[in-house]
Copies of this chain bind each other. A is one copy, B any other.
Amino acid sequence: MGGLLGVAVLGAGHMGADHIRRLDRVTGGARVAAVADPDLARAEAAVAGIDGASSHAEVAAALDAPGVEAVLIASPGPAHEAALHEAFARGLPVLCEKPLVPDAEGALRVVEAEVRFGRRLVQVGFMRRYDAEYLRLKSLLDEGALGRPLMLHCVHRNVSSPPGFTSAMLVDSSVSHEIDAARWLLGQEPVAVSVLRPGSTGRAPEGLLDPQFVLLETDGGVLVDVEIFVNTGFGYQVRCEAVCEGGSARIGEEHGMTVTAPGRESREVPQDYLVRFADAYDRELRAWVEACRAGRVTGPSAWDGYASSATAEAGVRAQRTGTRTPVDLAPRPALYA
């Protein structure tokens, strides 16, 4: 029991509350030790009924609360950088929801701080790396049975976009998942990005360019194309096909129960990423807890967070200018070799 990892959760909104529930009821090996939210009432509500969990308005107070051994950052993106530096100051391991930091410059400062600290503290919340299908695809590519990858065809669809969603966010918030997944699956870095814009759907709010079509080129010569379509109205779908020299593999097709009703056979399409990736979130958190208890840090690194932000920024420029835009990454520190 002494081994239960005490976690401070920063942010008690939608995602934070979901992680609190997971730490408390789903995942073994950890407990919620503290919750911080600028809205103190929300923090208090989040810890109700959880033995030994304190609530706070300030990040620092939560990190200093008794029993805190690790930090889970689920606050809005702009609050991440300061929270990460606070965690580094205390040497606490961190699970940081994506984006690591919204802008590439800030993300690079985090990378540099972690390099100064001297060992990894950060796992970034790219949860697709913990999805059973993505894991299977990664391992198939690594085995090399299909030969060298040449193309990735990706589809990323939502039912509808949340209020305030902008055309840039299709690239820097949504496609950032594909950017990380492509980097991870291929073990390659992006060198250029282009964005095409077909006609927009009538379902999109006024002014939102939706769908868009993003093309990434990697330093290994792989072409990654991504349909991003956030107001489909019909479902949450994430697909990926890796086309290789000796075969192809695809993931993300609907499955589960098949129903035959008059005139058709059908399968359900999930409506929400929390449904589609529920197991990935569980597995991500469990992996983090296990690593923390063993004194290790694994999974997507601060460098991955930075590279994703830098590529997304180039994508937003490509979107604005309508031209192919190079991606210039800083040199990769040895810590992330």
Contact across chains for A227 and B215 when beta carbons are under 8 A apart: no
Closest to A145 in B: B261
Closest to A196 in B: B223
A206 at the binding interface (Cβ < 8 Å) = no
Q: Given B1, B200, B261, which contacts A146 in the complex, CB threshold below 8 Å?
A: B261
- Which B residues touch A247, using CB under 8 A? 232-234, 259-262
Interface pair B243/A249, CB less than 8 Å apart: no
A27 shortest CB reach to chain B, Å:
5
B199 and A256 within 8 A (CB): no
Is the Cβ of B264 less than 8 Å from the Cβ of A267? yes
A290 at the B interface (CB under 8 A): yes
Quick one: which of A147, A148, A229, A266 has the most chain B CB within 10 A?
A: A266
- Which chain A residues (223-271) contact chain B, with CB distance < 8 Å? 223, 225, 227, 229, 232-235, 237, 243, 245-251, 253-269, 271
Among A130-138, A169-177, A299-307, the stretch that binds chain B is A130-138
CB atoms of A198 and B150 under 8 A apart: yes
Q: Is A296 an interface residue (CB 8 A)?
A: no
Contact of A290 among B25, B196, B233 (CB under 8 A): B25
Within 8 Å by CB of A199, from B137, B148, B234, B269, lies: B148
For the complex, give the distance between the alpha carbons of A202 and B146 in Å.
12
A213 at the interface (CB under 8 A from B): yes
Q: In the bound complex, do residue A245 and residue B26 qualify as a contact, i.e. CB atoms below 8 Å apart?
A: no
Interface residues of A in 122-165 (CB under 8 A from B): 132-133, 136-137, 140, 146-148, 150-151, 153, 155
Q: Which residue of the partner chain, among B1, B227, B234, B255, contacts A261 with CB atoms under 8 Å?
A: B234
Residues of B within 8 A of A153 (CB): 153, 155, 227
Residues of A174-212 contacting chain B, CB below 8 A: 196-203, 211
Q: CB-CB < 8 A to A229: which residues of B?
A: 150, 243
A47 to chain B, nearest CB (A): 13
* A26 to B279 alpha-carbon distance, docked (Å): 12
Choose among B25, B51, B137, B260 the residue that contacts A249 (Cβ–Cβ < 8 A): B260
CB pair A250–B258 under 8 Å, yes or no, is yes
**Does A286 interact with chain B (Cβ within 8 Å)?**
yes
Q: Is A199 in contact with B211, judged by CB distance below 8 angstroms? A: no
Q: Mark A19-35, 1 if CB is under 8 A from B, else 0.
A: 00001111111010000
CB distance from A317 to the nearest CB of B (A): 17
Cβ of B254 and Cβ of A265 under 8 Å apart? yes
Query: Which of B1, B29, B146 is the one whose CB lies under 8 Å from A259?
Result: B146
Bound together, the chains give a CA A198 to CA B150 distance in angstroms of: 6
Report chain B residues within 8 Å CB of A28. Answer: 23-28
Tell me whether A262 and B235 are in contact (CB under 8 A).
yes
CA distance A256 to B286 in the complex (A): 22
B237:A260 contact, CB within 8 angstroms: yes
> Does A222 interact with chain B (Cβ within 8 Å)?
yes
The residues of B that contact A133 with a CB separation of less than 8 Å are 256-257
Nearest Cβ on chain B to A95's Cβ, whole angstroms: 16
Q: List 6 A-B contacts (CB under 8 A).
A: A2-B51, A148-B202, A150-B200, A211-B243, A251-B256, A264-B268
